[in-house]
Chains A and B, each alone.
Chain A
Amino acid sequence: DADVTQTPRNRITKTGKRIMLECSQTKGHDRMYWYRQDPGLGLRLIYYSFDVKDINKGEISDGYSVSRQAQAKFSLSLESAIPNQTALYFCATSEPTGTGSYNEQFFGPGTRLTVL
């Protein structure tokens, strides 16, 4: 079974609709992230969470909100979807530990979102 899962995998919605993307992980990591990927722009960080009580904005958080329901679950919401939020969305986890640790991130399979 995959360590990081995302649901749904594909979603088509209409402008103005509220939509939630969900991410679950079995890696036991404290840190979770949401990214969006657009052609030619790489991955850009939307929000990140270092534990259940810690939520931080990334570089492109406008129009998005998140909820960290448990260590293993991190959801991304679009309150009122707009067409330029059409993108591929990835969830990731990491667990840097100890002196000299590093922040290798492990990615879910992605959610392809289309806003009409």
Chain B
Amino acid sequence: ELKVEQNPLFLSMQEGKNYTIYCNYSTTSDRLYWYRQDPGKSLESLFVLLSNGAVKQEGRLMASLDTKARLSTLHITAAVHDLSATYFCAVEGGATNKLIFGTGTLLAVQP
């Protein structure tokens, strides 16, 4: 059974600092997704990672995938308040390509 773990669950950071969110999963997959959710809002797709070594960047966010380690990272560079949100990773698995979501990381960027 595919399990997905994110850490940390909560991250408070100062503006201008760098940090990384980790997403570990339990069975083989080379399809991983990152989503952002603002409070009370829907999930917005951020990155789609489709192979070992894949790296995607958008603004201050960069996501990478290591399928051998079953690990994806979401790196935040020089955080700004607008990045405050909950970030979810989701791993695609099984014959039906279902997504299994991590529990989310609540990011709070303080001025």
- A residues whose Cβ falls under 8 Å from a Cβ of B: 40-45, 48, 50, 56, 58, 90, 96, 100, 102-110
Spot the interface stretch: B11-19, B38-46, B55-63, B76-84: B38-46
Chain B contact-residue range equals 20 to 34
The answer to whether B42 and A107 have CB atoms under 8 Å apart is yes
Closest A residue by C-beta to B32: A102
The answer to whether B45 and A104 have CB atoms under 8 Å apart is yes
The answer to whether B103 and A41 have CB atoms under 8 Å apart is yes
With a 10 A CB-CB cut-off, give which of A90, A100, A103 has the most chain B CB atoms: A103
Give chain B's interface secondary structure class.
strand
**What are the interface flags for B83-110 relative to A under an 8 Å C-beta threshold, 1 for contact and 0 otherwise?**
0000010101000111101111000000
Contact of A90 with B43 at beta-carbon distance under 8 Å, contacts A43-B101, A103-B92 already known: yes
Task: Say yes or no for B71: interface residue by CB 8 A criterion.
Answer: no
The answer to whether A103 and B41 have CB atoms under 8 Å apart is no
With a 10 A CB-CB cut-off, give which of B33, B44, B96, B98 has the most chain A CB atoms: B98
Q: In angstroms, how far is the closest chain A Cβ from the Cβ of B5?
A: 10
B102 contact set on A, CB distance < 8 A: 42
Q: A102-B48, A105-B33 are in contact. List 4 more A-B contacts (CB 8 A).
A: A40-B9, A42-B103, A102-B31, A103-B92
B90 contact set on A, CB distance < 8 A: 43, 105
Contact of A102 with B50 at beta-carbon distance under 8 Å, contacts A42-B102, A56-B96 already known: yes
Cα A48 to Cα B35 in complex, Å, equals 20
The answer to whether B43 and A48 have CB atoms under 8 Å apart is no
